[in-house]
Chains A and B, each alone.
Chain A
Amino acid sequence: MIEFVDLTKRYGKFTAVDHLTLHVPAQGAVALWGVNGAGKTTVIKCLLGLLRFEGQITVDGCDVRRQGRAARQRIGYVPQELAFYKEMTTFDMAEFYARLKGAPRTHIAPVLEQVGLAEHQAKAVGALSGGMKQRLALGLALLADPPVLVMDEPTSNLDTAARSQLLQLLTQVKQAGKTIVFTSHRIEEVETLADDVAVMEQGRLQFVCPSSALAQRIGLRTQVKFVVPGDQLDHALAILRDDGLAVRRNGVGVIVDVAHGEKARPIHVLGRADIEVIDFEME
């Protein structure tokens, strides 16, 4: 469905994307993973024809450079930074973009319903919450029912509740058979939505792997802080160390460095030693 062939983007002497070749199959979901500055957003902008680039990108056979409109007709885009005309109402905004996309007016109401904004259609976009704006962005992207959904850090500016709501919606969209390309640096987002992950570093594609294997491939670790009774703190530190965990003291608790997928391990270790876990949090 989407082909990146030898994609290179340079800003003067700086190479933001370096000879990226990637295939995204129809109905597949691929996440572009990497730290800030890895080149993920640049890839998305090239895909949308917003940047000049070397190499070739095709969407469903349409060359992004030469058939930009046709390529973008097949794409619904959810940006990282919400850039809306704040004075417009939600409905007017949807109507404006529906006209640009050639989507029938009758699509607006069901789409607003789908993203949970039917009750807010008369509200000015500037008055919507962050989560609502992001759902509106998703709704606008889906107006013309495009086969491809492209998202740039779709949940980066959302709180936990809004993120969970959006992820639920996106899961439904994925199940409806859309081809999805998105950038992210949140593991739970990638594991929920993506089939495969393309890991980028300094503009270069490092490797592509199934999303379930990402944490292990990149050695993703999490720090978990446990609060235990003060008189058992030293014992807890010793027990955890004996079990091979990297652990250090932190005030009234201990901080344990664990591999992704092993966050419950310290709880079991402490439980076996009859040490009560009063509280815990992940950092």
Chain B
Amino acid sequence: MKIVWPIAQKELRDALHNRWFLLYTIAFIGLSLALSYMSLAGAGIAGFAGFGRTAASLINLVLLIIPLMALTVGAQSLAQEQEQGTLAYLLAQPVTRIEVFAGKYLGLALSLLASLGLGFGIAGVVLALASGAGSPLAYVSLVWQTFLLSLTMLSVGFLVSALTKRSGVAIGIGLFLWLTFVFLGDLGLMGTAITMRLPVEQLLWLSLLNPLQVFKMASILDINATLDLLGPAGIYAMQEYGEQLRGVFLALTAFWIVVPALAAYVRFHLRGDL
């Protein structure tokens, strides 16, 4: 930690000075406040919604903003420093590649946590003051699931960064992956299910290949205690796996955090020439 922590601190400080990062955070705070207001207004009652209803509304917002934020910061992490030459200078110091990698990952993970904490925190305080209705547990659970989701996307972003040498290319690939995870994944899955008449079991597992779907199901399960509202796949999942689903979701999330990060490190380590 003697080396990892100073690098993590530097990353954290850089991220908090990054205009894009601040913009994402502000957008997230603003939209989450607006959503919480509208979620109850839509039901015919003006004013701020309670924690549970707001958490449910926030799932779709999180699905859009957080992967974009985590993927872009992850994609820039190594590629930008390599492009600027700062990575070679850093590695010319008495440090190892695993320390540099771990420091950068930890720093960016903490900055994402800080951003989410700020976004959810402000929205939470406003909600508590404005309505105070409902259990905050669903809200806290969503914050946790969102943090895990941001780590999965950060790991994928790191992998992109380790595979490219130019920051612009890395961000481009990051944006393409974001589109794939957010839109194309859903549409592709729907199209495949309709044209191939997929059985519900296969549909469930195919959708679980997308970490964003895992987040959505895990969050709904936490808030609603059932996946019935997701239709046949949700009903099948509940009947077939029941309470085991939480473990399945956690394992899949852990897979998406660990495997891309590990692959990114292996690539970074094997790249050799800087």
Contacts and interface: CB of A to CB of B under 8 A. Distances in A.
Instruction: Say whether A and B bind each other.
Output: yes
Interface of B: 2-3, 6-7, 10, 14, 17, 84-86, 88-96, 272-274
A84 B90 CA distance: 9
Given A49-B92, A51-B272, A100-B6, 4 more contacts: A79-B88, A79-B89, A102-B2, A102-B94
Nearest to A77: B92
Contacts of B88: 45, 50, 79, 83
A280 interface: no
Contacts of A68: 96
A87 B274 contact: no
Given A51-B272, A52-B272, A52-B273, A100 B89 contact: no
Contacts of A77: 89, 92-93
Q: Max chain A CB contacts within 10 Å: which of B3, B84, B86, B89?
A: B89
A249 interface: no
B94 A51 contact: no
Contacts of B91: 48-50
A188 interface: no
A81 interface: yes
Contacts of A100: 3, 6-7, 90, 93-95
B92 A48 contact: yes
Given A51-B272, A51-B273, A85-B14, A101 B92 contact: no
A69 B95 contact: yes
A282 B95 CA distance: 45
B272 A83 contact: no
A84 B95 contact: no
A126 to B, nearest CB: 12
A80 to B, nearest CB: 10
A84 B96 CA distance: 19
A171 to B, nearest CB: 24
A120 interface: no
Contacts, number: 64
Interface residues of A, number: 25
Interface string A199-229: 0000000000000000000000000000000
A69 B94 contact: yes
B6 A99 contact: yes
B16 to A, nearest CB: 11
B92 A79 contact: yes
A123 interface: no
Nearest to B270: A52
Given A69-B95, A100-B6, A85 B85 contact: no
B86 to A, nearest CB: 5
Contacts of B94: 69-70, 72-73, 100-102
A87 B14 contact: yes
B93 A72 contact: yes
B86 A84 contact: yes
A58 to B, nearest CB: 16
26 contacts: A49-B91, A50-B91, A50-B92, A51-B273, A51-B274, A52-B273, A69-B96, A70-B94, A72-B95, A77-B93, A79-B85, A79-B89, A83-B85, A83-B86, A83-B88, A84-B89, A85-B10, A85-B14, A85-B86, A87-B14, A96-B10, A97-B93, A100-B6, A100-B90, A100-B94, A100-B95
Nearest to B86: A83
B178 to A, nearest CB: 27
Interface in A63-99: 68-70, 72-73, 75, 77, 79, 81, 83-85, 87, 96-97, 99
Contacts of B84: 83
Nearest to A150: B92
Contacts of B93: 72, 77, 97, 100-101
